[in-house]
Amino acid sequence: MGNITALIADVLLFVILPWILWRLTRKALPIAVLPILLGMLLAVWHVPVATLGIPSVYGDNIGWVAVLVLAFTAGLEMWQHPDEVDPSQTFPAPSFSRLLKGAAVALAVPFLVGSVLAYEFFLPLKGWRAPDAAPWISAASIGLCIAVSALPVLIAVVRELEPGHRAIGQLALKLAVVDDAALWIGLAILQFMEKGSAALHSWTGLEALSVGLLAGLAISGNWVARRVPYPPAWVIWATVPLYLVAGSWASKQLGLHELIGAYFAGAIMPPKWVRRLPVEQIGTLSLIWLAPMFFGHSGLRINGDALTWPSVLASLSLVVISVVTKIGAVYFYPPADGLNARQALSVGALLQCKGLMEIVAATILHEQGMLSEFAFASLMVLAVISTTLTGPMFRLFAPRLRKEEPEEKLNANLATNG
């Protein structure tokens, strides 16, 4: 089948169909979840979509670029304030040290608890112990997957939040960026411990160049923005792909996920320039009409034969462990001062989202022989269940937005318009 025809089939299956379901269900589930679920069902039922050319080459490329754009636009919005913010839902911006400590607690508690429970209760079960890895390596691998937060899917979920909840969503994204970086570092450490020094790559000049490039973008962008705060629009548009490509390339060279670099690149762009960009429209276009092919293909590539009912039952136990430890960690050590109970629980509900980051991590660990087929299948189901629960759990915990009375809104408009 031709590439264009395969792309059309790809769009119909993973873009149009999920959009219809999303509308029919009144947006009850994040639109990023529906293509993943659809792809997993096709894999379990062994539907021969390959005869249609799915996943298509063009669809793969378009979906990947779209997710990079999603991460980049989320970074652009990091330091921006939404036009509509409920005053009762704002809180002081956390210090960098508090943010790092909060991220560390939110990652360490699920990892430690998950690793211990996996070692004591799951690995003794039939089929759970990886044949080519030490038991504690397998347990730590499961704990790492339980602890991770899904950056790309979380970006999509946050983009669908009400404007009044965007501050909570942006805080969750900042924590997820740290968690995602820790994920890739943890993967490297586990592979080193299991395989030895052959699992690591020595530093070259490219890594040093990457660090210098990221620092140079941040410093030069800030310097130029102070001297040219309002350049021609074409200058800003020409700078956008430069930041996106440079940030993604740099993070990849450092051994981190390209999405981290894309997010960081958006965050360091000059705020005055960012305000002149249609960030919301670009993000919505990527989320609804382009990125679903990336999400759907990820679900489609899962080994459907490993998804059995025992895997699903085991996944339910992992879901409980993941949700309780992640939300509990954020609740007892909030990542920002001034968070009330509902706000802290809301951040925890967003961070327990596993999504594609866990799928990627579990796939790497499985290929390296550190996860058994049974554990791998259970972690795949955990990723989908936790992601599916994210929206309902957030709505359950999210603070109630204050609705302005007509007189208050009129007075606000009068004050704004002078």
Spatial distance between the Cα atoms of 382 and 323, rounded to a whole number of angstroms: 10
Tell the residue number behind the tokens 């951040």, with chain if given: 347
Q: Which pTM value belongs to this model?
A: 0.76
Q: Are 128 and 122 in contact (CB under 8 A)?
A: yes
Supply the CATH classification number for the domain 3-397. 1.20.1530.20
Q: What's the residue count for the chain? A: 418
Q: Maximum Cα–Cα distance for the chain, whole Å?
A: 71
Q: Are 184 and 255 in contact (CB under 8 A)?
A: yes
Question: What burial class does residue 161 get, using C-beta atoms within 10 Å of its C-beta: 0-12 exposed, 13-18 middle, 19+ buried?
Answer: buried
pLDDT of residue 410: 33
pLDDT of residue 199: 43
Q: Rg of the Cα trace of the chain?
A: 22
pLDDT of residue 79: 61
Spatial distance between the Cα atoms of 294 and 46, rounded to a whole number of angstroms: 19
Q: Which helix (H) or strand (E) holds 294?
A: helix 292-300
Can you give the residue ranges of every domain in the chain? 3-397
pLDDT of residue 83: 46
Spatial distance between the Cα atoms of 139 and 142, rounded to a whole number of angstroms: 5
Task: Retrieve residue 408's tokens.
Answer: 């208050």
Q: Which of 322, 291, 230 is nearest to 74 (CA)?
A: 291
Spatial distance between the Cα atoms of 13 and 35, rounded to a whole number of angstroms: 8
Does the bond joining 163 to the residue before it have cis omega, within 30 degrees of 0?
no
Each of the 418 residues of the chain gets a pLDDT tens digit; together they read 578 999 999 999 999 999 999 899 887 777 877 898 899 889 889 999 999 999 999 999 999 999 899 889 888 876 655 444 455 556 667 788 888 899 999 999 999 999 999 999 999 888 888 877 889 999 999 999 999 887 777 877 777 777 778 888 888 988 888 887 787 778 878 877 776 544 445 556 777 788 888 888 888 887 888 888 888 999 899 999 999 999 999 888 876 678 778 888 888 888 888 888 998 788 889 888 998 998 898 878 777 777 777 777 888 999 999 999 999 999 999 998 888 899 999 999 999 988 767 877 887 788 788 898 888 888 888 888 888 888 889 989 988 776 544 444 434 443 333 4
Does the bond joining 135 to the residue before it have cis omega, within 30 degrees of 0?
no
Spatial distance between the Cα atoms of 175 and 103, rounded to a whole number of angstroms: 5
CA 119 and chain centroid, separation: 27
Spatial distance between the Cα atoms of 368 and 78, rounded to a whole number of angstroms: 36
Q: Which of 77, 105, 75 is nearest to 167 (CA)?
A: 77
Q: What is the DSSP letter of 77?
A: T
Q: Which helix (H) or strand (E) holds 271?
A: helix 271-274
pLDDT of residue 170: 85
Task: Retrieve residue 361's tokens.
Answer: 């991590």
Task: Retrieve residue 60's tokens.
Answer: 């793969």
